[in-house]
Structure 1
């Protein structure tokens, strides 16, 4: 017998919290007492909050499950189900697949360290010469078989914090546009230190696929100074303000970033940073070692991967001997130092090391 309209409406309202949410990527459960299937949420603890509830407590006549956005389940549960994450999605917005950004999963991204830009202490070249050097390196890397290229103003040290001059943005835009015209690969931009708005503007002008952002969530003390304010909120609003063309530019954010003292957030784990990055709208998280060229710990990659559903990227210390192990956990690897002569980031490209890295990754 069909339920009366009022009863049917109450059932629909009671069940809307599950039927309208995306799948949490955990196996579906049995039919609930109200006759409507629900996603089965994993058991586990929630964030340390007096108001938080355990996700394994049934609520209401239809037996639906309630949970916090920060609900986690055990690693054993993840291994048993083959789930990608140890928590349900923290937002109703599913992440983009990394293949839609970098062209493939298990991607290898080569770093081009752009020569010192006008206005920086070590600048000696004109924008034309800087762009020529970057294009030459990008072509070599594209021909070698890399999946994407990331441009970074590494030679501009000591870096400005968050804000860079108009001359830096203008010169970097020229470099990015010329590299974009020279190679048919996804292109990314990073402007040190934490100049994420500037990077987004350059990426828009040069039709880049992504930016790498520092200080997206949480705070830290870097060698440039205090990254006191996370900029996820302002940055995503800026991307929205730039219009429809900017919405496709992905933001990969560093968590517990290298060259940074993280004492301010010592009571938070890397997994919690990854979880927060997902909640705040990042398109991927970058995990690194303590400094440029230092290996990214596999345990940190695993922690980030288990804590969120975002693509996880190894951001430092990748070598020909370690890349396969890194790609067994990470969705992508960024390499800069290992493909240079003697493995030193400021040296010229080394063709033999480049070929060895690409072969090892495949």
Structure 2
């Protein structure tokens, strides 16, 4: 049986991808003009090192505090993210990916420029969302991926977008099946309503059962208390809020919380 791409690219099955959330960037409403980009870079470096030292398998950099999000991201955001990654990646010794919220083409541009192994995005569907009507065009995005030579970048499709609902589609099994058939994702990500909201185990199981040959990640709300249960179903998890101090989205990463979580994961893998 051939290896899963997660084993080949990220080094393990049942992989844990940790989110490294950048604070607000130039052009964002919350950007700290006084601290400037230097403060953003140094915060990102500290967060990244805590995650790496805590034992995660991979890191995904995202502009999580560019609230409210855009679906067509500005050039200054991508430029700022590229600078941050360029300055800190010399201290990074595990694979990484990127997520430019919520713009798949810009995510691929950033991945190609920085050497990221994967991107996570909303590639398919039409939604009613907190950001208005949210439309996508997967065919254009994949053609852009090939045009810039980013064919080796793995595409993680978020099929249950946070803060959004499919327009006239609610059968998650059929969504998973049609997405895999039409778009050939490298992985499907299944989310709760918002960052930190638990992924429903039954929804996760429904998706995995429908597309058993496709990598499926629990995308939000995975905690030390439920990670073993989630990994019995999923091929891995994307984890952000859980690794923050007191499990609060706005807080900085807590290295001890990361280590305690990864100890549970390692125990699960060794069973």
**Would you say same fold, with TM above 0.5?**
yes
Match for residue 134 of structure 2? 227
Aligned residues: 262
Q: Give the Å deviation of 1:332.
A: 1.0
Structure 2 spans left out of the alignment, 5+ residues: 267-271
- Partner SS for 1:108: strand
- Partner SS for 2:230: helix
Match for residue 269 of structure 2? none
Q: Give the Å deviation of 1:334.
A: 1.1
Q: Give the Å deviation of 1:165.
A: 1.3
Quick check: 1:286 aligned with 2:189?
yes
Match of 1:149 among 59, 72, 87: 59
Match for residue 161 of structure 2? 257
Q: Give the Å deviation of 1:257.
A: 1.5
Relative to the length of structure 1, the TM-score reads 0.69
- Partner SS for 2:119: strand
Match of 2:28 among 114, 120, 129: 120
Conservation of the 8 A alpha-carbon contact between 2:51 and 2:255: no
Structure 1 spans left out of the alignment, 5+ residues: 1-24, 26-93
In the aligned structure 1, how far is the partner of 2:43 from the partner of 2:119? 21
Q: CA-to-partner distance for each residue in 1:228-251, whole Å, 9 max, x for gaps?
A: 2x32111110010012xx111101
Quick check: 1:302 aligned with 2:205?
yes
Conservation of the 8 A alpha-carbon contact between 1:101 and 1:209: yes
In the aligned structure 2, how far is the partner of 1:338 from the partner of 1:105? 20
Conservation of the 8 A alpha-carbon contact between 1:274 and 1:307: yes
- Partner SS for 2:173: helix
Conservation of the 8 A alpha-carbon contact between 2:50 and 2:254: no
In the aligned structure 1, how far is the partner of 2:55 from the partner of 2:3? 26
Match of 2:237 among 308, 327, 333: 333
Q: CA-to-partner distance for each residue in 1:174-211, whole Å, 9 max, x for gaps?
A: 1122332221111111111x211111111111100100
State the structure with more CA Rg: 1
Quick check: 1:179 aligned with 2:88?
yes
In the aligned structure 1, how far is the partner of 2:109 from the partner of 2:10? 19
Moved more, 121-130 or 285-294: 121-130
Match for residue 270 of structure 1? 172
Conservation of the 8 A alpha-carbon contact between 1:253 and 1:284: yes
In the aligned structure 1, how far is the partner of 2:61 from the partner of 2:24? 12
Match of 1:204 among 112, 120, 128: 112
In the aligned structure 2, how far is the partner of 1:156 from the partner of 1:101? 29
Match for residue 142 of structure 2? 236
Bigger relative contact order, structure 1 or 2, given CA contacts below 8 A and separation 6+?
A: 2
Conservation of the 8 A alpha-carbon contact between 2:55 and 2:258: no
Quick check: 1:160 aligned with 2:63?
no
Conservation of the 8 A alpha-carbon contact between 2:26 and 2:77: yes
Conservation of the 8 A alpha-carbon contact between 2:26 and 2:80: yes
In the aligned structure 1, how far is the partner of 2:168 from the partner of 2:247? 33
Conservation of the 8 A alpha-carbon contact between 2:244 and 2:257: yes
Conservation of the 8 A alpha-carbon contact between 2:18 and 2:239: yes
Q: Give the Å deviation of 1:264.
A: 2.6
Higher helix residue share: 2
For residues 36-185 of structure 1, the aligned pairs below 5 Å read 97-124=5-32, 125-161=35-71, 163-185=72-94
Conservation of the 8 A alpha-carbon contact between 1:95 and 1:283: no
- Residues 190 and 114 (structure 1), Cα distance of their counterparts in 2 relative to 1, 3 Å cut: same
- Residues 319 and 211 (structure 1), Cα distance of their counterparts in 2 relative to 1, 3 Å cut: same
In the aligned structure 2, how far is the partner of 1:108 from the partner of 1:96? 15
RMSD (Å) for aligned C-alpha atoms: 1.7
- Partner SS for 2:44: helix
